[in-house]
Amino acid sequence: MDTKEILKKVRKIEIKTKRLSNDIFGGEYHSSFKGRGMTFSEVRQYQFGDDVRGIDWNVTARYNEPYVKVFEEERELTMMLMADVSGSEHFGTSNQFKKDIVTEIAATLAFSATQNNDKVGLILFSDDIELFIPPKKGKGHVLRIIRELIEFKPKSKKTNIDVALKFLSSVLKKRAIVFMLSDFMDDDYEKSAKIAGSKHDLTGIRVYDKHDEEIPNLGMVPMLDAETNSLQLVNTSSKNVRINYKANALRLTDFFMNTFKRSGAGVINTRVDESYVKKLLGYFKYKAR
């Protein structure tokens, strides 16, 4: 993909997702993710009804009358987007790949954060950390994030959710809003999810295709594993093959849902042929309650 084509794609996604973030998600994002911390503002004289635990004893001793510390909500937030760039994201049996939907959702969230004057960062991961862009403000920064989501070529096609969550916990010390976008075709990440969920406002957005969950009866079909590049003939007319395929997909979905919920994190499931707008809006409204 040449530079002109990349810029054209970036512009197309910018127009679509910026409109969504302005018209739909702006107010919802603001009310859903309020400032989580309290920062010191000033000291003032004690007034009847003030909490005595807020008394600043040093200032009180200096002026020989009670003074209290005043705190205000820390409004500025940091959003970190974590996008799965493994081989399975380049799959889709409808009009779009999972990767395309991940890019659109990430761009919508990034513009919503920018509208709120928040910082936005990006982590692209496979079974390793492929790219880390530290959080920063500004439209130009968001456009860079979109460009990376479109054109980045990962070194690996495999997936490791555990590695990505561990990296998140090590690189972000202050509490942040974190959206992890993946098909979550992986397991064994309970511990890292629990740590990340306790430190950050974490949400897992599972973007999947209908054929991730069920395989149609097409007879003997050659299938390529997008993460290992191994090609094998699969007898899709076999009922046992279809049952086992579905059972494994449900196992991974249940693992994702249960692990994230137990970690205090939010979950969103959206299929590539569904409206992710409705899913995001419903989630934001739920969090704002």
Dist CA 119 CA 54 (whole Å): 31
Architecture in CATH for domain 3-32+76-288: 3-Layer(aba) Sandwich (3.40)
Instruction: Work out the pLDDT band at 200, boundaries 50, 70, 90.
Output: very high
User: What pLDDT, on a 0 to 100 scale, did the predictor assign at position 101?
Assistant: 92
Instruction: Work out the pLDDT band at 281, boundaries 50, 70, 90.
Output: confident
Q: pLDDT tens-digit profile of 128-187? A: 999 999 999 988 999 999 999 999 999 999 999 999 999 999 999 888 999 999 999 999
**Whole-model pTM?**
0.80
Pairing assessment for the beta strands 266-271 and 201-208 based on DSSP bridges:
parallel
Residue 271: count of CB within 10 angstroms of its CB: 18
Q: pLDDT tens-digit profile of 32-55? A: 665 555 555 678 888 888 888 888
The average pLDDT across 71-75 equals 56
> What's the 3-state SS for 149-191?
HHHCCCCCCCCCHHHHHHHHHHHCCCCCEEEEEECCCCCCCHH
Domain layout of the chain by residue ranges? 3-32+76-288, 38-73
